[in-house]
Structure 1
Amino acid sequence: MKVSVIIPVFNEEENIEFLVKELNSYFKKEKRFSTEIIFVNDGSTDETYLHLKNAKHLNYSYKILSFSRNFGSHAALRAGILRAEGDFITFMYADLQDPLTLVSRMFDQVYKNGTDICWAFRNSSASTGTEKLFSRAYASLMRKYAVPNFPKKGFDIVLFSRKVKQCLDKNLENNSSVFIQILSLGFKQTSITYDKRERKRGKSKWTLSKKIKLLIDSFVAFSFAPIRLVSIIGLIFFIVGILWTAIIIVRKLVYDDLASGWPALLSILLVGFGITNISLGIIAEYLWRTLDASRKRPAFIIDEITEDTEVVEVKKPVRILKDIN
């Protein structure tokens, strides 16, 4: 039995030595399964790739997939899934805020219960107040409008079988969340809980702009709520407009006490154009993603692959498209 552990890395040179040391130490003791580690270098601009390449990987087989540029963590996870050879696949991160014991605990759960997916849900997190607020708001919105079984405290780690991997490989989505895609597949699932630890080295690359992109991607890819919101707002303004027109006509005919003027007209135009622009912006998000999918651009491009001590030069960039046979 083999477990593939995918670790995306982006400008994590200060963490690599600690990461490899912990991996060697932990998987030396793990005897229930063999381990394959897939490092995905997501276009790092520092010495991350060299540190990974020169590190002593002792107690596991490994691959290093190096992207031609930064494509994002979800693209890195998808690349790792595509190249994974294990019977089960899971994710870990270079800062090791999620303990390596999760790999064994999740493996025990799927093996014992005969399920295809095991989630590691957070009991607590070392995140700041702002990060916790964003996480809770994101989880609440996703449960209400997109995925009803989305966990309240969120998740970063999942282990799944090759059956799930085959589905993900056949439906490789750009601008989408791989976690929500797994959550929505419908296979038998189980879960464990854990406490997330503080980051010991380096700085988190999970910036505000990436969080906002994830929020937009999640809604556009898995929910029709934004488009329905446009329809509801349009209907409300239409009804208000009809009522306001009726009031104006009645007062003009009965009382003749309404003075015409540009302030009221300007207010109506500002509100009207504001709502129109918001609506068009939401629709444009869907149109852009439809256009992006129709172009069939690669979700990622692998520039170089290192397997154990052998470097495989990619003559032509590996273009991974949505449909994979």
Structure 2
Amino acid sequence: MKYSVVIPVYKNEASIPRLIDALVSMNRDLNGHMEAVLVVDGSPDRSFELLREAIATVDFPVQLLAHSRNFGSFPAIRTGLAAARGEFYGVMAADLQEPPELLVQFFTALSADECDVVIGTRIARNDPLMSRIASSMFWQLYRKLVVHEMPEGGVDVFGCNRVFRDQLLKLEESRSSLIALIFWLGFRRKLCGYERQLRQEGVSAWTFRKKVDYMLDSVFAFTDYPIRLLIRLGAFGSLVSILLGILILIARISGAITVPGYAATMLVVLVLGGLNLLGLGLVGTYAWRAYENSKQRPLAVVSMWLKNTGDADV
């Protein structure tokens, strides 16, 4: 087996017949060198039973795994990557909104050694208007706060070689973002544009609440932007409070403020308010650095290692 296709499955029983047909066609395009790794992520429907029946009828290797409960699509992808036995790996969704032909492009680029990881980027999508607006806002914030190299259309599918897969699986972090880790690792990267297809069966399990949780996980695991924002606000607030404090003090001395205790109260509130924000930012900086060390990410990742033993005759 040369190619491994990893597919997380959750509430996809209606699309399973089309999924199996797509995998059969993909295996034919890849000259029969493909295996499929299906990970049922605690799906409450009949996805596992239907897949168990379907894989008995195909003529290519299939691994069917089931999580004990719903852990999320990214843990399911990690499970599939760990179980896969091929040389190159591609991840696709079970709802087939990403065209299966895209993975053939991934494997072609990886086999030609054009890159270590290839990423599918949406250049268009046939989703409802509100879904497109929400997705656009989500990925714009993602690019702004988390991964500046993130394509405008976002990322849902990717492929990689074995070196990249092994490094990715070493990063065992909970409440993190697999997509952000892909960009954090670096390596040689290639982007492949595609048009996202309209969902034909069922309703997406990628709810608004899950998108918000995903954004928070991505922000808190990959950037200290909120802490730096606190420091900036604290420093700016302290400066403004000092200037306003001087004005209030001058007004009190000149007799413009006659209310007893007003000047002292305002001075205390303004100065301490700015210092509180600044102090929270400074304490948060130390907490962030301790958190960074607790994740135990490597300080550097080697993508290629060439050696010359010096024994060759010249």
TM-score by length of 1: 0.78
Cα distance between partner residues in 2 of 1:94 and 1:118: 19
2:28 aligns to what?
29
3-state SS of 1:40 partner: strand
Deviations 1:6-65 (A, max 9, x none): 1111122222233223322x1352244511111111111222211111224403211122
Q: Which has the larger Rg?
A: 2
Shift in alpha-carbon separation, 1:221–1:44, aligned structure 2, 3 A: same
Greater relative contact order, per chain length (Cα 8 Å cut-off, separation 6+):
1
Distance in 2, Cα, partners of 1:115 & 1:28: 22
Structure 1 Cα separation of the partners of residues 202 and 216 of structure 2:
27
Structure 1 match to 2:42: 43
Q: Distance in 2 between matches of 1:139 and 1:31?
A: 33
Are 2:38 and 2:65, in contact at CA under 8 Å, matched by a contact in 1?
Answer: yes
Check whether the contact 2:7–2:91 (CA below 8 A) recurs between aligned residues.
yes
Assess if the C-alpha contact under 8 Å between 1:89 and 1:161 holds in 2.
Answer: yes
The separation in 1 between residues aligned to 2:261 and 2:203, in whole angstroms, is 57
Q: Which residue of 1 aligns with 2:108?
A: 108
CA contact (8 A) 2:5 2:36 kept: yes
Amino acid across the alignment from 1:11: K
Alignment of 1:86-101 (within 5 A): 86-101=86-101
Q: Hey, what's the Cα distance between the residues in 2 that align with 1:258 and 1:88? A: 78
Residue aligning to 1:52: 51
Distance 1:144 1:294, change over 3 A: closer
Alpha-carbon distance in 1 for matches of 2:23, 2:251:
78
What is the aligned partner in structure 1 of residue 301 from structure 2?
Answer: none
Maintained 8 Å contact 2:26/2:104: no
Distance 1:50 1:142, change over 3 A: same
Q: Which has the higher strand share?
A: 1
Displacement of 1:200 in angstroms is: 0.4
1:265-280 paired onto structure 2 within 5 Å: none
SS at match of 1:201: coil
Compute the displacement of 1:145 (Å): 3.7
Instruction: Name the CA shift for 1:260/1:217 in 2 (closer, same or farther; >3 Å).
Output: farther
Specify the alignment match of 1:255 in structure 2.
Answer: 255
User: 1:200 and 1:188 mapped to 2: Cα distance?
Assistant: 35
Provide Cα deviations, 1:105-127, integer angstroms capped at 9, x if missing partner: 11112223532111121110122
Shift of 1:195: 0.7
CA distance in 2: counterparts of 1:276 and 1:156, whole angstroms: 41
SS at match of 2:185: coil
> Aligned ranges for residues 1-325 of structure 1 at < 5 Å?
2-24=2-24, 26-32=25-31, 34-56=33-55, 57-259=57-259
Task: Give the fraction of aligned pairs with identical amino acids, expressed as a percent.
Answer: 31
CA contact (8 A) 1:27 1:60 kept: no
Q: Secondary structure at the match of 1:214?
A: helix
Looking at structure 2, the residues matched to 46 and 287 of structure 1 have their Cα atoms a distance apart, in angstroms, of 42
Distance 1:33 1:251, change over 3 A: farther
* SS of equivalent residue, structure 1 residue 55: helix
Contact kept? 2:88, 2:161, Cα under 8 Å: yes
Please say if residues 121 and 192 of structure 1, whose CA atoms lie closer than 8 Å, have aligned partners that are also in contact. Answer: yes
Runs (4 or more) in structure 1 with deviation over 4 Å come to: 293-296
Aligned-residue offset at 1:220: 1.5
Distance 1:294 1:190 in 2: 31
- 1:170 is displaced (CA, Å) by 1.2
Any conservation in 2 of the 1:27–1:59 contact (CA below 8 Å)?
A: no
Tell me which amino acid in the other structure corresponds to 2:195.
D
Could you say what secondary structure the match of 1:4 adopts? strand
- SS in structure 1 opposite 2:112? helix
Could you list the per-position Cα deviations for residues 67-115 of structure 1 after superposition, in whole angstroms to 9, with x for gaps in the alignment? 1111111111111111111111111111101111111111112223532
Q: Deviations over 1:134-178 (max 9, x none)?
A: 333333333334323211111211110000111012112211111
The amino acid across from 1:54 in the alignment is: E
Counterpart position of 2:302:
none
RMSD, matched Cα:
3.4
Q: Compared with structure 1, are the counterparts of its residues 250 and 55 closer, same or farther at alpha carbon in structure 2 (3 Å cutoff)?
A: same
Q: Give the aligned length.
A: 289
Deviates most, 127-136 or 89-98: 127-136
Query: For structure 1, which runs of at least 5 residues remain unmatched after alignment?
Result: 297-325
Q: Give yes or no for contact 1:110–1:190 (8 Å, CA) kept in 2.
A: no
Unaligned runs of at least 5 residues, structure 2? 297-314
Instruction: Please say if residues 4 and 38 of structure 1, whose CA atoms lie closer than 8 Å, have aligned partners that are also in contact.
Output: yes
Query: When the two structures are superposed, what TM-score results if normalisation uses the length of structure 2?
Result: 0.80
